[in-house]
Amino acid sequence: MERRSLAQQTAQRLYNLIAAEKKLAPGQKLPNELELSQEMGVSRATLREAIRALTTQGVLEVRRGKGTFVSPRAGELEDFGFDALERVRGQLRDLFELRSIVEPQAARLACQRATEAELQEILARGRQVDACIRAGEDRTRADREFHAAIVRATHNEFMMRLLPVINQAVASAVRTGEHREQLARDTLRDHALLLEFFQKRDGEGAEHAMAIHMRRSMDVMGLA
């Protein structure tokens, strides 16, 4: 049986422990990775993938420096199985495919069309994301506002209409449990390069930097 299918079964078993068997209560911390993988009879890699799926679904949440916990909202969520896990993963992939198409071109247009005030807002929003990551704070809002500032600076009505979709994708990526730290490190590096190109109003450079950022994120989350 392929690992991905086993991970889905593992996620369902973990969900059942929470929702049906009540062995893991909302707010409770999960056992450490080694202990839990042995208890469930799966590899640590399979367990990580299952935890990532449940984190994306909102059943689990990762707290920086503390571990993985059952979400306080876990009892409110509807049951899901193989098809739902596939749908969650598929939706995230689709969101990032859309971002990889739209946002590199948005970065180019923003460099060309942004007013000086809009350019300074992009740079300031980017620095806020950097500050949140370095302080170990939730960067969801800052990251959304950074990407929104770029899209607004395109002065393209239809790109603006895609902002809710882009915001959803940003929030989903930031919440991703297993790869959260890697994504944060990549964001620091990728955004630094992106801001450098914005500072120079180098549209071609900004386009390539954003494309690299999208691709790297997809690779890390296994969506490519």
The pLDDT tens digits of the residues spanning 11-61 come to 878 887 777 677 888 889 999 889 989 988 999 988 988 888 888 778 888
Euclidean distance between CA atoms 26 and 34, whole angstroms? 21
Euclidean distance between CA atoms 194 and 210, whole angstroms? 7
Neighbours of 78 (CB within 10 A): 7
Instruction: Give me the mean pLDDT over the 132-140 stretch.
Output: 91
What pLDDT is stored for residue 3 in this prediction? 41
| pLDDT cut 90: percent of the chain above it | 41
Single pTM value for the model = 0.62
- Mean pLDDT for the chain overall: 85
Residue 103 confidence (pLDDT) above 90: yes
Query: Nearest 5°: phi and psi at 28?
Result: -80, 145
In this structure, is the dihedral angle defined by the CA atoms of residues 49, 52, 58 and 59, taken in order, positive or negative?
Answer: positive
Instruction: Give me the mean pLDDT over the 172-180 stretch.
Output: 66
What pLDDT is stored for residue 92 in this prediction? 78
Residue 154 confidence (pLDDT) above 90: yes
